[in-house]
């Protein structure tokens, strides 16, 4: 199947280096807020790329649940493929595809587990069904059928029918500490704007304009 004719022409005001905030965290928050206000749902959806110790890559979509200067936080089963690969190789990449705005942000850095207390704070904020789901899903493992999965669901509903659902010890969060940021804005004739942030020894950042 040829897809030569599937293309989108981008048109946006040109961005200069001077337009970019010298702090990439502030720049990210600005773009994130704008995307959230304009398009709402799924602004926090991001691709998470990991690789095994043998450099075999994998990628999936996860949800960003918080961010600050310490990093970008997501949650998962600690037995999942992504978690196993992070344990082997903590170098990861995040990508936010804000397609409607013709924008993309890529963040590379290192991932590490957050504290149990932080994971618990988020876990108790989740809907009860999502809490049960965390107990049931042995993420990335092979299951015999959907029916078997739903049988586990009914079992867990009965098990935890009274009182609060505890945090599973095999479930929690990771924080990605950024090393580099790249902000991309689609432009006409594929002459896109790309701004690459690298950290400096004095705690500041240098911004470079990359060729499209």
| 144 and 73 assigned to the same domain | no
Considering only 11-20, 144-153, 189-198, which range has the smallest mean pLDDT? 144-153
- The mean per-residue pLDDT over the stretch 127-133 comes to 93
Is residue 9 in a domain? no
**119 and 136 fall within a common domain:** no
* 6 falls within a domain: no
CA 163 to chain centre: 32
Tell me the pTM.
Answer: 0.93
Average pLDDT over residues 54-74: 98
pLDDT digits (tens, 9 = 90+) for 138-156: 776 777 888 888 888 888 8
Show the domain range for 150: 127-166
Find the mean pLDDT for residues 3-16: 86
Q: What is the DSSP letter of 143?
A: -
Q: Are the C-beta atoms of 141 and 121 separated by less than 8 Å?
A: no
CATH code for the domain in which residue 119 is found? 2.30.110.10
Q: Is residue 29 part of a domain?
A: yes
- SS3 per-residue string spanning 32-91: HHHHHHHHCCCCCEEEEEEECCCCCEEEEEEECCEEECCEEEEEEECCCHHHHHHHHCCE
Q: Establish whether 190 is a catalytic residue.
A: yes
Tokens standing for residue 204: 């500041």
In this structure, the answer to whether residues 107 and 172 fall within a common structural domain is yes
Using the structure block, give the residue that is written with the tokens 């850095």.
109
120 and 191, same domain (yes or no): yes
Number of domains in the chain: 2
Are residues 72 and 149 located together in one domain of the fold? Answer: no
Round the average pLDDT of the chain to a whole number and report it.
Answer: 94
Q: Is residue 190 assigned to a domain?
A: yes
Q: How large a percentage of the chain has pLDDT more than 70?
A: 100
The pLDDT tens digits for 153-183 are 888 888 898 889 999 999 999 999 999 999 9
- Whether residue 5 lies inside any domain: the answer is no
Same structural domain, 153 and 177: no
User: Both 38 and 135 in a single domain?
Assistant: no
pLDDT for the residue 36: 96
Residues 105 and 172 in one domain: yes
Q: Which residue has the higher pLDDT, 40 or 209?
A: 209
Secondary structure of residue 174 in the 3-state scheme: strand
Catalytic choice (60, 69, 126, 190): 190
Phi, psi angle pair for 59, to nearest 5°? -150, 150
- Residues 140, 98, single domain; the answer is no
DSSP 169: T
Whole-number pLDDT of residue 145: 85
Residue 149: what pLDDT? 83
What percentage of the chain carries pLDDT values higher than 90? 76
Domain contains 74: yes
Are 64 and 101 members of one domain? Answer: yes
Q: pLDDT band at 5, cuts 50/70/90?
A: confident
Are 97 and 180 within one domain? yes
Better-predicted residue by pLDDT, 7 or 87: 87
- Does residue 44 share a domain with residue 147? no
């Amino acid at each position: 199947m040829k897809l030569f004719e599937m293309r989108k022409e981008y048109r946006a005001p040109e961005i200069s280096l001077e337009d970019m905030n010298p702090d990439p965290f502030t720049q990210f928050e600005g773009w994130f807020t704008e995307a959230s206000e304009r398009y709402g749902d799924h602004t926090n959806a991001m691709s998470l790329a990991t690789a095994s110790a043998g450099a075999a890559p994998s990628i999936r979509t996860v949800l960003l649940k918080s961010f600050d200067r310490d990093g970008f936080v997501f949650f998962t089963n600690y037995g999942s493929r992504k978690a196993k690969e992070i344990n082997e190789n903590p170098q990861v990449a995040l990508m936010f595809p804000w397609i409607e705005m013709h924008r993309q942000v890529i963040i590379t850095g290192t991932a590490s587990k957050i504290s149990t207390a932080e994971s618990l704070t988020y876990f108790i904020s989740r809907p009860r069904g999502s809490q049960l789901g965390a107990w049931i899903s042995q993420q990335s493992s092979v299951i015999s059928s959907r029916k078997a999965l739903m049988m586990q669901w009914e079992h867990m509903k009965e098990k935890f029918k009274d009182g609060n659902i505890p945090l599973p010890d095999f479930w929690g969060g990771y924080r990605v500490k950024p090393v580099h940021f790249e902000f991309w804005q689609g432009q006409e004739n594929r002459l896109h704007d790309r701004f690459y942030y690298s950290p400096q020894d004095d705690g500041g950042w240098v911004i470079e304009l990359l060729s499209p």
